[in-house]
Amino acid sequence: MSGAPDENPAGNNQRVLLDCCGGLNNVDYSKMDLTPMEGLLKHIDFGDASFCIAVIAIIFNPFFWNVVARWEHRTRTLSRLFGGPYLACYCLGFIIILLNVYRSHSMTVAMKAQARWEVMDRTDVFYAGVALMVLGTVLVVGSFLALGFVGTFLGDYFGILMDEKVTGFPFNIIENPMYWGSTANYLGLALIGASPVGLVLTAIVAVSYKVAIRFEGPFTEQIYQERSQRRKLE
């Protein structure tokens, strides 16, 4: 191919580096059209109290349930306190639900407190938001039905392990459907409300979930690997 290194040892050994469009160093960023981003940001008051509360709620939720669940896995304190792992898991699940309800409330308050963006205030954007909320709801509900209450709310950390990995809908079309379904719901809500701050808050939700997945995934795999090793020794 043209531009590929010559791999013939008898020929020229000099590598020809592909440099499409002169490389990123030659891009004139001053000529980029940042008008849409400027229009978005000018409608957002990052110092608004409701925005700050919403951001704290978004970041706190996955941090809380990961810390508490790992602590329970290590010490079994909640299981002893509630007389068994199932009741302890139900109680933590109930707390997580309340925290998520408050997160949704705080995001709604922040969206209503700040300006709408006329660029988003269109019929097609509205219906795109509705479609995202329908999709998100299907993913969240489908995930809950597939996992059950205990599987959804970190039952693995309480020692309540599933017999096998769930591979049915919606896990057969997307990983972590509960998280991404929830993110789709918030994005849909932001589009329906023509809310620039809603877009920013949704991005923060996505990032917080992405970080949570990086911690939860390997740890959950470790839990099941430990069970497999115990079974081999029995």
SS3 of residue 168 by DSSP: coil
Q: In which region does residue 18 sit, left (phi positive, over 0), alpha (psi from -120 to 50) or beta (all else)? A: beta
CA dihedral of 15, 16, 20, 26, whole degrees rounded to 10: 90
φ, ψ for residue 43 (rounded to 5)? Answer: -95, 5
Cα of 41 vs its chain's centroid, Å: 23
Q: Is residue 184 a contact partner of residue 133, using CB atoms and an 8 Å limit? A: yes
Whole-number Å distance between alpha carbons of 151 and 142: 13
Q: Provide Rg for the chain, Cα atoms.
A: 24
- List Cα–Cα distances, 224 to 161, 165, 167, 228, 230, in angstroms: 8, 10, 16, 6, 10
Residue type, 130: V
CA dihedral 7, 9, 11, 14 (to 10 degrees): 60
- Cis amide leading into 170 (omega within 30): yes
Q: Is 216 annotated as contributing to ligand binding?
A: yes
Tell me: is residue 205 an annotated ligand-binding position.
Answer: no
198 annotated as belonging to a binding site for a ligand: no
Is 201 annotated as contributing to ligand binding?
no
Tell whether residue 217 is among the known ligand binding residues: yes
Calpha distance 172→64 (Å, rounded): 28
List, as residue ranges, the binding site for S-adenosyl-L-methionine.
134-136, 216-217
List, as residue ranges, the binding site.
134-136, 216-217
